[in-house]
Amino acid sequence: MEMDSFRLCYVATATFCTIFLLRSFLTKKRRRLPPGPAFALPFLGHLPFLEKPLHATLARLASRHGPVFSLRLGSRPAVVVTSAELARECFSSDLDATLANRPHFPSVREASFDYKALTLANYGDHWRAARKVTVLQLLSARRVDLMSDSVIARELRAMVRRLARASDGGAAARVELKKRLFDLSHSVLMEALARSRNTYSDDGADMSEEAREMKEVVDAIVPLVGVANLWDYLPVLRWLDWRGVRHQLADAVSRRNAFIFKLIDGERRKLQLEDAAEAEQGMIGVMLTLQKSEPEMYTDTFIAALVANLLGVGTETTSTTTEWAMALLLNHPAVLKKAQAEIDARLGADPGRLLDKTDLPHLPYLHCVITETLRLRPAAPLLLPHEAAADCKLHGYDVAAGTILLVNAHVINRDPATWDPAPDEFRPERFEHGAADGKLMISFGMGRRKCPGESLAMRTMGLVLGTLIQCFDWTRVGDEDVDMDASSGTVMLKTHPLEALCTPRPGLHALLHHI
């Protein structure tokens, strides 16, 4: 009797396994997957063949396999999109909601408060709440105007003074721009978040103590997370961890969290001591006020995750794009002179003031310079990865739930079909007089997950770049072109931070007396 029961169990198990394997085989055969490289290694998939920078490797694969192709990243299936047509299909249709999730990588969990950061959270109630408070309390048109009139203007004046002091007696001074640009972006966000002003250890400092601390943290975290991190696709590396990645990431995240919770505690004490109007509160103060009525939603962790996201993404991307813009201008002095002449013409009747937000609509060529920079050097050359929440169809191909979607913005922004002539050249004139209207450029993303900070970023970059051009003459250090090599990673950073020579323009010292 026992033997018969054993045989029956064995037959049932074997039958079930056979049916399961047969069904899986037939389902796989019925699926129409995008094309892709034929050879993949067991467990590793195509990971060993993906050289850095990843966006360049994916561009080469697209030239062989077409504008949509498949990869296997360890155990994770992925689909790569490299054309404007397919980007529109992904994010301008019903497909947008299906592809609105984020892949939950182990490294991201460490850095995002268990996937609660706005840019890394899955599409759902938590994401909607975080986006709502961000858009209404930090990035609304009214808030951006207030920041332009007060915070950005004040920080720009401070940066101009520090640069002028660096130019002893009006001589050309060699400066590293990235630190100063990061400092300004950080200052703007700190004021918006916590009404906190940066402090400097000395007048000649190129960064405040707070900005230096945050930049060290950002520089430590960014290379350890993201789509190009092997650790995320091969769990065994997480446990072997021979390079100490887990320890490095945990240390950087711990330092960042201590900084953020100190901000939150400081804002909580301010609220206890003063009954500030909502308009006068920083974003943290607004969320702490909301916490009183909705404590289950606006927890300290919710607030910290959003603050970490804004400080990490907002400072690095804006300062990096402005740095790329200055590098491109230094390599194209005629474009720099044209932008400078436009600003001089606008302010010619009132040379005793700095450029402000009211001038930006009257500086179309400056806007063209920034837009062309974003086209050629998008801060995120691969948009933050998406993940399919359910089985779906893309361009007639089957995409299974859980598939990672990578969108190569770097390639789309240089597509010859859209951007000829000379799609790889820096030509701001291609945007003049509406010549590029209707052409897709996705430097800020698309659809539901599009970056909500575009308006603030464009305003900040316009004011910063315009002020630098208005107040100083800029030249390269030496006769060689500025090195335009980019590092690999989630954010397209310059491999070598930009150094340039700045000379105060005539009338700057008189202008400084007025500001």
Calpha distance 381→375 (Å, rounded):
10
Query: Residue 246 burial (CB < 10 Å; 0-12/13-18/19+)?
Result: middle
3-state secondary structure 278-306: HHHCCHHHHHHHHHHHCCCCCCHHHHHHH
Selection from 78, 94, 93 nearest residue 402 by Cα: 78
Distances (CA, A) of 2 to 5, 38, 327: 5, 49, 80
- 434 secondary structure, DSSP code: G
**Is 392 labeled as ligand-binding?**
no
Bridge partners of residue 173, in order along the sequence: 502
**Which residues partner with 45 through β-bridges?**
41, 73
463 CA to centre of own chain = 19
* Residue-wise burial string across 293-319, b where 16 or more C-beta atoms lie within 10 A, e elsewhere: eeeeebebebbbbbbbbbbbbbbbbbb
Q: How far apart are CA 359 and CA 366, in angstroms?
A: 11
Tokens representing 359 are: 């001038």
Going by the annotation, the residues of the binding site are 451
Going by the annotation, the residues of the binding site for heme are 451
